[in-house]
Amino acid sequence: MTATTPTSNRATATPGGTPALVVVAHGSRDPRALSTVRALLDRVRTLRPALPVHLGHIELNEPLLPDTLTALGDREAVLVPLLLGRGYHVKRDIPDMAAASPGRTRLAAPLGPHPLLVDALHARLTEAGWPAHPAPDHAVVLASAGSRDPESRADTSRTAALLAARLGVPVVPAYASAATPTVPEAVRTLRARGHRHVAVASSFTAPGRFATQCAAQAPWITSAPLGTHPSMAHLLLHRYDRALGADGGENAPKGGAGCFDMRLRRGARPATTEPALAR
């Protein structure tokens, strides 16, 4: 692998040119998901026109990540998961695909937890009708896809805590699959504590089955998926910059340090735990 030296928060120069940003989306059978992700990438390109930005999916949609990496050849690329926490896809699927590719790749952190992610969650709740000054009986359920990986659940809990600090009300994480509590269970818990107005914050990057399911279970307002919110584009660039050792300050005006960037070689696999993860 060719070593890189940070030169600016715009990009890091390498012999193969500016490292490409490859946004790694999960993929969905819902056609709205693909159109949303493409629109988000257009926002990223607008923020940084000189940066090569590509899309690769883990499954269900084209282009698949291996095809995107093959098309890039030996050009260096930074893979930024369009995922909101650690889990099997971040720890195994994406590294395995990267290791099998011909190019030099680095894996950035997933998007959460991070203050910019909380910016987007807060904005979507406000758009849905969340009051500027919530009453003591207000609360939020943070709905996410779910994972059996304890680190994934820890990341969701961390995001919930950051959102609670932002809103000044309790925020309980809930899951559409693979983990508990479910959204209805979290709602019942909050109502048992005296919270009559319980909103659901959709912690999903794009429309899809889980987002639709959780929205249908909301007893009051529910926010839209994060989608093309400007903070999401800034956060993608921030993760890219962090992976290259740049500070990313221009693209993450409210964000702090936070990634577990990995430099991957063919046949290499990152550690499955990151005890010193900086969020």
Looking from the CA of 159 toward its CB, the CA atoms found within 13 Å total 33
Nearest to 122 by CA among 35, 50, 230: 230
Helix axis angle, 230-243 relative to 31-47, nearest 10°? 70
Nearest to 166 by CA among 254, 259, 258: 254
Q: What residues act catalytically?
A: 26
The span from the CA of 127 to the CA of 123, in Å, is: 6
3-state helix, strand and coil shares in percent for the chain, rounded to the nearest 5: 35, 15, 50
